[in-house]
Amino acid sequence: MTEKLTSILKITRPVNVIITFISVLVAAAICLTGKISELNLLLAAFSAALAAASGNIINDIYDIEIDKINRPLRPLPSVKITVKEAYTLYFVLLILSVSFSLIINYLAFIIVIFSNLLLLLYAKYLKRIPLIGNTTVAFLTGMVFIFGGLVVENPSAAIIPATFAFLVNLIREIVKDMQDFEGDEKAGVKTFPVKFGFQKSKFIILFISLALILYTLYPFISQLYRIEYFIVVMVIVNPILIYSLKILFQDHASKNLNKSSILLKLSMVFGLIAIYLGV
């Protein structure tokens, strides 16, 4: 029973689910200008987190053959959870996600329905199209912040953190495709690294990273954020991004790709801290 419950938790990718939950709260805090409905905020955070969890499950269902090569210890390829059980859990979390959003308001409901549909399309079709799948996941990550801003009725203030999250996650998604190269190639999934190779993938990452670093300067130069933002970005966020690039261009061994992926996630965390301190 304990192993089954652990596997059920693992298939949702709890760390990503928690990050999604916190991201909605952080976005709301960044965008807050007046009073707030604590109930609506919690419902929004749970709705987004459950959508992320159900999206992770449906992705694992469609990726079961690929994961037998790339991640054989995941719950589905290791048969710790059956596909039927995974589908049941997917629909339960999906219904909860949509139900919570409906309590907030119709706009939140529409966004959550759209996001869940996009997650399904990603798992079934979009992830197999070079860069389109990567862009889809990055877009949904950015939408989490817009969603948080919407709950406090100030979504325009979420555009900068949403764009930052989009660019960081677009880089990270390409790095993850490089990590999954072997399984994707054998399964016939034409990700960007599979179709165009590692060298071109690195230069795409370099281009997006340079765009991201330049973008991090914009909120301070335009006087939208205070000096605290600029200090954290220049001392922590951008050096992490540059170090991640250095590792990637030195060697694209699995160990380095994993390290680069972790650093990118870390840069996003510090980027959000910088934005919070700067508003």
Q: Does 128 or 145 have the greater pLDDT score? A: 145
Q: What is the mean pLDDT of residues 118-126?
A: 94
pLDDT digits (tens, 9 = 90+) for 91-121: 999 999 999 999 999 999 999 999 999 999 9
Q: What is the mean pLDDT of residues 189-215?
A: 94
Q: Is the pLDDT of residue 34 over 90?
A: no
Q: Is the pLDDT of residue 61 over 70?
A: yes
Q: What is the mean pLDDT of residues 246-258?
A: 88
Pick among 1.20.140.10, 1.10.357.140, 1.10.10.10, 3.40.50.10710: CATH of 2-278? 1.10.357.140
Q: How high is the pLDDT of residue 119?
A: 97
Q: How high is the pLDDT of residue 174?
A: 95
- Compute CA distances 8 → 15, 55, 75, 116, 164, whole Å: 13, 14, 8, 20, 31
Q: How high is the pLDDT of residue 203?
A: 95
Domain locations in the chain?
A: 2-278
Q: How high is the pLDDT of residue 1?
A: 65
Percent of the chain with pLDDT over 70: 100
pLDDT, averaged across the chain: 93
Q: Which amino acid is at 234?
A: M
Q: What is the mean pLDDT of residues 178-197?
A: 87
Picking from 198, 171, 196, the residue whose alpha carbon sits closest to that of residue 254 is 198
Q: How high is the pLDDT of residue 2?
A: 80
Picking from 101, 80, 69, 77, the residue whose alpha carbon sits closest to that of residue 9 is 80
pLDDT class of 33 with cuts at 50, 70, 90: confident
